[in-house]
Amino acid sequence: MSVVLTGINQQLEWWELTGAAETVQFNLDGDFNQPVSILVSNDPAYLKDPLSVHALTQDDGSALTYSAAAGPLRLPFGIALFVTFSSGGAWGAGTKCTPRFSNTLDANGRPFIPPLQTREIPVR
């Protein structure tokens, strides 16, 4: 399943990584005009606590961003329970980014495509 991220939904669509048994692979497609960051969190709430959200960084500590279509890319196994992709700014009309997951297996050796996080509030 692919979801087109726009300026309206980009910080609200989280993919759940808990079913992956290995590194999660993906591509970023689209015509986004601002760098896209990869954000991760372990907060099970649909609306994440801002303190639980962290951007992936490069070795020098700067944010890892993509200004054009890229891939295949990888999320290290076990890095977080949830991932999203965000420009951190307002996107122009028609600007979009589409994350496409592939080549990842679940614990049973079957193909795993991360599902979108449900919008239900988990019981704690």
For residue 103, what pLDDT is reported? 85
For residue 37, what pLDDT is reported? 87
Which residues have CB under 8 Å from 104's CB, separation 6+? 20, 22, 23, 24, 25, 111, 112, 113, 114
Asked whether 3 and 97 are in contact (CB, 8 A), the reply is no
Asked whether 86 and 36 are in contact (CB, 8 A), the reply is yes
For residue 98, what pLDDT is reported? 85
Per-residue pLDDT at 8 exceeds 80:
no
Dump pLDDT digits (tens) for 19-53. Answer: 999 999 999 988 777 788 899 999 999 889 999 99
Taking residue 32's Cβ as centre, other Cβ atoms within 10 Å add up to 24
For residue 72, what pLDDT is reported? 92
Domain spans in the chain, listed from the N-terminal domain onward? 15-102
Per-residue pLDDT at 1 exceeds 60:
no
Asked whether 113 and 19 are in contact (CB, 8 A), the reply is no
Phi, psi of 4 (to 5 degrees): -85, 120
Dump pLDDT digits (tens) for 67-107. Answer: 888 989 999 899 999 999 887 665 666 677 888 998 899 99
